[in-house]
Amino acid sequence: MFTLGIDYGTNSVRALVVRCADGLELGSAVAGYPSGREGVLLDVRDHHLARQHPGDYLSCLEQCVTGALAKAAATKGFRADKIIAIGVDTTGSSPIPVDASNRALGMLPKWRKNLHAQCWLWKDHTSWREAARITEMAARHRPQYIAKCGNTYSSEWFWSKIWHCLKTAPDVFAAAHSWVELCDWMPSVLAGVTDPLRVRRGICAAGHKALYCDEWKGLPDKKFLAMLDPKLAALRDRLYVKAHDATASAGGLCAEWAQKLGLKPGIPVAIGEMDVHYGAIGSGIAEGTLVKVIGTSTCDCAVVPATKKVADIPGICGIVKGAILPGFYGIEAGQSAVGDIFKWWIETVCEGDGALYGKLEKQIASQVPGQSGLLALDWNNGNRTILVDPMLSGLLLGATLHTTRAEIYRALVEATAFGACAIIERIEEYGVPVRRIVCAGGIAEKSPMLMQIYADVTGRTMQVAGSSQACALGGAISAAVLAGAHRNFPAAQKAMTSVRPIQYKPDPARRRAYRKLHALYLSLHDAFGGVNRSADLSRVMKDLLIIKQSASQ
Amino acid sequence: MFTLGIDYGTNSVRALVVRCADGLELGSAVAGYPSGREGVLLDVRDHHLARQHPGDYLSCLEQCVTGALAKAAATKGFRADKIIAIGVDTTGSSPIPVDASNRALGMLPKWRKNLHAQCWLWKDHTSWREAARITEMAARHRPQYIAKCGNTYSSEWFWSKIWHCLKTAPDVFAAAHSWVELCDWMPSVLAGVTDPLRVRRGICAAGHKALYCDEWKGLPDKKFLAMLDPKLAALRDRLYVKAHDATASAGGLCAEWAQKLGLKPGIPVAIGEMDVHYGAIGSGIAEGTLVKVIGTSTCDCAVVPATKKVADIPGICGIVKGAILPGFYGIEAGQSAVGDIFKWWIETVCEGDGALYGKLEKQIASQVPGQSGLLALDWNNGNRTILVDPMLSGLLLGATLHTTRAEIYRALVEATAFGACAIIERIEEYGVPVRRIVCAGGIAEKSPMLMQIYADVTGRTMQVAGSSQACALGGAISAAVLAGAHRNFPAAQKAMTSVRPIQYKPDPARRRAYRKLHALYLSLHDAFGGVNRSADLSRVMKDLLIIKQSASQ
C-alpha cells in the first residue's frame, strides 16, 4: 500500500509516492509555477505584494503527480491503483477568494488579470496597517484572541489580508462569496467540493491565523469583526463554523481529478495542513521532540498532549489544539530569517554565488568560538520569537580592520544559533519539554558547520530528519493514517519516518566558550529588544576582544 | 626666494620646492624606501612590529631632492642657489638608537641586520605591555604626566618603545648612546651634528610623546624613570634637557649634504616637526581654525595662544605648548581609523579594488540621510579621541535583508563623521573655538561624498587645503620664517597657503535629518563606550526603521 504526499511550496509543488509499510520514497517530482517571477506575482510599485495564480496549483499538480508516479513505477510491486490516499500541505496563511461554486476568482476570465483576485501568498505584507489595527483592537476588546499568538496579529494572516482586500479592491471583496485557505482549497478541489461552506477546513490554518478557537466557539465573534468593518462580520457567515484536525477527511478523490492524475477515484484525501506542520509529522514530531524546519526562516514545532494544560507562552506565535498532531496542542515558534540572512550576506553583500557558501565555510573551519571577536543579532527581518517584534533589525559588533567576510558569515550563523536557543529556553520555561531535536530542510542537510554550531551553542544533539521531503512525507503519513494503513499517527510515524545516521553532538570545550558569548548575546538581545531598559554594555566590546585574544593563542 | 620642504611619510619621502612670496609649488618628487615591504621592515612572527632602515632616509633624500630641483628648474627665475632654507617633517613617534657620534645604529655594519637597531616606526605596537605599565605607574605616581594625553600613554610613543628595546634587545639598548626622534635626527644629519647631546630636539615630538613639559622641567624625572628601569633613568642624561619650538634652527646645512643635494652650504635647517603638525601649518592653522588631516586615520589640530589658559581636555591626546605653531598651545586629537575602515570594507570584505569606491559612491549618491536605516560606530581600530580606548571595536546596526554593500559603505563614512563631530564638540566645550575647518589629505580631495556628509553631519562648512602636499609645504613655510622671508608664521601662512575654491556647505534639510541619527549614534557611543552604564536602547532600531521608512517616501 502506498500514499501520495503533495507539498505546495512558495515556488513549486512536489509530489511524493511513499510506501506505507516503511516510508520508502518510491518517486517524487517537482513542478515550478509558471506565472510571475518564480511563481510569485509581484508589483513593482509595492514590494510588500506577493500573490499567486490559483490555476498554477492545478496545472502543476497534474505535472508533478504524473512525474512521481512514473518514477515510482520502476519499483517492483508498485502500481498507481495501489495508492490508497492523498495528503496535501501548502504554504499559509495563503487565502484565496472564491465564488459560490468554490471556484478561485483568479481563474475566472473576469478576474484573471486582477492581482487582488489571486491567492494572497503567505509572504504578502501589504496588509501591515490592518494587522496593526487588529492587534490594537484585539488588545483592547478581545485580548484572548491574540494571547495565543504572542499578542501580535500578523500581516501574513487571514483577516489582515481579507480586510486589506476589502479596503483596496472592494470589487474583488464583493465578488468573493467566501475565502478559503490554500491548504483547505486544494484538498477541496481534489474532492470535487463545489460549495465553499462544504469545504472541510483544517484547524491548522484556522488556529491562530484566522483566530479560530473552540474556547470562543470558532472564528472571532461578529461584534468584534464589525468593529473592524461590518462587511467582515457579514463574511463570517460565509466562512465556516467548525475546523478539523488531521483525523478528518477532506473528502474522496473526485472522478475528474482521479482521471487527470491516473489514480483510483474515491480514495480519501486527508485534511490539508500547512507545510511545516506536516513537515513536523514527517520529521517524527512527538511529545519531547522539537522539530526545527530550517529554511529561509525557521519554524520550530512541538506538541503537548491535549490532556495536559498548556499555558499561554509569551512570545510564542501559535498554540493551537490539533494544529499539528490530532490529540495534541501544536506549539509553533520561529525565527523570521535564517537562510535569508546567509543569502543576504553571501549573495547581496558579498555578491557571491552558491559556491561561496562552501568556500567561506572552509576558510573558517578551523576557527574556534570567539576567535573572530564578532557577535551578531539575527534580526535582519525582525524577531518572530520570542520578542514578536518586526521593528527590529540586524546588528554586527566586534569588527576590526582585519575582520573577514567568512568570519562575518560565521557570526551570522552563530547569531541564528543563539536565536534558536532563545526559543528552546522559552518553551521549556513554560513546561514544554525538549528532550530531542530533529532538524529538517535544506540547510540542515547541507551545512555541517551550522549544525555543529547549533549543537555547541544549544548544548544539545542535533539530529537530521531522514527524508529530504519531510513535508510531503507528512502528508503521505496523514493519508496513510486516514486510509487505515496505520492505527494512528504515532504508529505511522514510527514506521514511516527516520533520522539520518549523522548526529551533531555538542563539544564540551566549544560549549563552554559559547556560554560566554551567549551571555554577551543576551545582553545585546535584551538591550535592543526592550527587555532591559537600563543596560550596562560597557564591557561587551572589551570582553569580546579578550575572548578573541585568548582564542587566537 | 625659495625654500625646500621635506616630508618623510610611512612609505616614501617627498621633496617640494616652494616660492616664499606666494607659496607657488615649483616642483616635487617622491622616493619610496627600498627596504622591507613598501619601506617597512616586518616580522612574520609578530604583526605588531614595524621598523624602518635609517639608511633609506638618506639615500631617498638625495633622490627626491634632485628630482624636485630638476622639475623646479623649468620655472623661470628659479635656481637651486636661491633656496634659502630647508624644513623637514617626519612620522612620529619614530625613535632611532644612535651611537655617540649620532650615527644610526642600524646603519653600522654590526647592527645592519638587527631589527631592533633600526628606526622604530610610529605604528610599531610591540611595546603595548610597556605602554600599559607606564600608564599605570604614571597614574599612581605622576598623574600630571599623562593628564595632557588623555590619561593614557601609547605603545606608539618614545618611552614604551625604548623600554621594550631594553627588555627584548638589551644588546641594542646597551650599544645605543642615545635615542633620537626621526624628526630631530634628519635635520641633525643635514646640519652635520655628530653628538646626540647637541641635536636640537623639537617640542613637537618631545611634548606628550616623550612626556616632556616645561612644567616639570623637561623629561620625566629620574626617580620616576628608575621605577620603570634604572637604565632608563641613566639614559635620561644622554637625551636632552631642552626642546624647542619652530622658531629655533636645527643648524646650518653642512658641506657634505649641500654638495649631495646641490644646495648652498650653510642655509638654515628648520627644527623638525611631525608630519601632521607641519601639515596643519601648511593648511593654514590659526586660532579658531581646525585642521583635519584625513588619511588612514585622522589627526585634528587646533591652536590656542600661549597667553591664554588651556585646561586639560578629557580624552584629547596632546596639549603641548609650541608643538605646532610657536607661541601657541598645540592641541592634537584624532580618530584611530578613517580611511582604514573604508579600505577594510571595500578591499577586505567586498574584495574590491580602487574602482569600487567610486562605484559604490555613485550607487548611493541619491540617497538621503537615514534612508538605509543603518547606523555604525567607527571603532574598528579602537577610539583615540574622545574615549581613548583601544579595547573597542566596530558596530553596524540596522541591516535588513535588502541592505547593500554601498549602503554599508555610506554608513561607515557617516560613522566617521559622527566621530569627527565628537572631537569638535569636546574641544569647543573646553574653550577651544572652532570657527573654520580645513581638511587636508587624499580623502578630503578625492571623496566629495565624504566631505558633504561631514558638512551635513557637523553643520559646518568644510574647506579643502589648497596644497596636496600640506606637510611638505608646512616644512617649507617653517624654513621661510626661519630664513626671514616672512616676519612670522601667520604672515608666512597668509602668503603661502590657500584653500580650494570648492567648499562643502551643510544643507539644512540633511542637517536636520542627521541630527536625529546623531542622537541615536550618541546613545550607542555612550552605551558601548562606557559613558552611560544604564542605557535604554529599546528605541534605537525602531527609530531607525521609522526614519528609514519616512526617508524612502
Three-state helix/strand/coil letters over A47-101: EEEEEECHHHHHHHHHHHHHHHHHHHCCCCCCCHHHEEEEEEEECCCCEEEECCC
Q: A299: part of which helix (H) or strand (E)?
A: strand A298-305
Among the partner-chain residues A380, A399, A527, the one whose CB lies closest to the CB of B400 is: A380
Nearest CA in chain A to B360: A349
- CA angle, residues B538, B542, B544, in degrees to nearest 5: 115
Distance between CA atoms of residues A283 and A327, nearest Å: 18
B379: which chain A residues are within 8 Å (Cβ-Cβ)?
A: 541
Q: Tell me if B393 and A399 make a contact (CB, 8 A cut-off).
A: yes
Nearest CA in chain B to A350: B350
Tell me how far CA of residue A425 lies from CA of A422, A434, A459, A512, A534, in angstroms.
5, 9, 12, 17, 23
Nearest CA in chain A to B532: A536
Contact of B530 with chain A, judged by CB distance below 8 Å, is answered with yes
Contact of A542 with chain B, judged by CB distance below 8 Å, is answered with yes
Taking the model in full, what pTM does it have?
0.91
CA-based nearest distance B187→chain A, Å: 35
Which of residues 391 through 430 in chain A touch B, CB cutoff 8 A?
391-405, 408
- Residue-range domains of chain A with CATH: 2-274 (3.30.420.40)
Among the partner-chain residues B340, B401, B537, the one whose CB lies closest to the CB of A344 is: B401
Q: Tell me if A542 and B373 make a contact (CB, 8 A cut-off).
A: no
Q: Which of A395, A416, A540 to mutate to test the interface with B (most CBs of B within 10 A)?
A: A395
CA-based nearest distance B348→chain A, Å: 6
Neighbours of A487 (CB within 10 A): 9
CA-based nearest distance B303→chain A, Å: 31
Give the model confidence (pLDDT) of A338-382 as tens digits.
999 999 999 999 999 999 999 999 998 889 999 999 999 999 999
Q: Tell me if B534 and A534 make a contact (CB, 8 A cut-off).
A: yes
Give yes or no for a contact between B495 and B476, defined as CB atoms under 8 angstroms apart. no
- The cell numbers describing A243, all together, are 475546523
Give the model confidence (pLDDT) of B420-478 as tens digits.
999 999 999 999 999 999 999 989 999 999 999 999 999 999 999 999 999 999 999 99
Give the model confidence (pLDDT) of A440-465 as tens digits.
998 999 999 999 999 999 999 999 99
Given a cut of 70, the residues of chain A with pLDDT beneath it are 553
Query: What does the pLDDT read at residue A553?
Result: 67
Among the partner-chain residues A373, A535, A542, the one whose CB lies closest to the CB of B537 is: A535
Which of residues 324 through 353 in chain B touch A, CB cutoff 8 A?
337, 340-341, 343-344, 348-351
Q: Is A383 left (phi over 0), alpha (psi -120 to 50) or beta?
A: beta
Q: Which of B388, B400, B412, B540 to mutate to test the interface with A (most CBs of A within 10 A)?
A: B400
Among the partner-chain residues A391, A408, A530, the one whose CB lies closest to the CB of B545 is: A391
Among the partner-chain residues B344, B404, B535, the one whose CB lies closest to the CB of A527 is: B535
B402: which chain A residues are within 8 Å (Cβ-Cβ)?
A: 344, 348
Query: What does the pLDDT read at residue B312?
Result: 82
Give yes or no for a contact between B68 and B80, defined as CB atoms under 8 angstroms apart. no
Give the model confidence (pLDDT) of A385-401 as tens digits.
899 888 899 999 999 99
Give the model confidence (pLDDT) of B372-417 as tens digits.
999 999 999 899 889 988 889 999 999 999 999 999 999 999 999 9
- CA angle, residues B203, B205, B209, in degrees to nearest 5: 115
- CA angle, residues A249, A32, A477, in degrees to nearest 5: 30
Give the model confidence (pLDDT) of B530-547 as tens digits.
999 999 999 999 999 999
Is the per-residue pLDDT at B487 higher than 90? Answer: yes
Q: Tell me if B528 and A541 make a contact (CB, 8 A cut-off).
A: yes
| DSSP conformation letters of B486-551 | SSSHHHHHHHH--EEEEEEPPPHHHHHHHHHHHHHHHHHHHHHTTS-SSB--TTHHHHHHHHHHHH
- Interface size, chain A vs chain B, as Cβ–Cβ contacts under 8 Å: 146
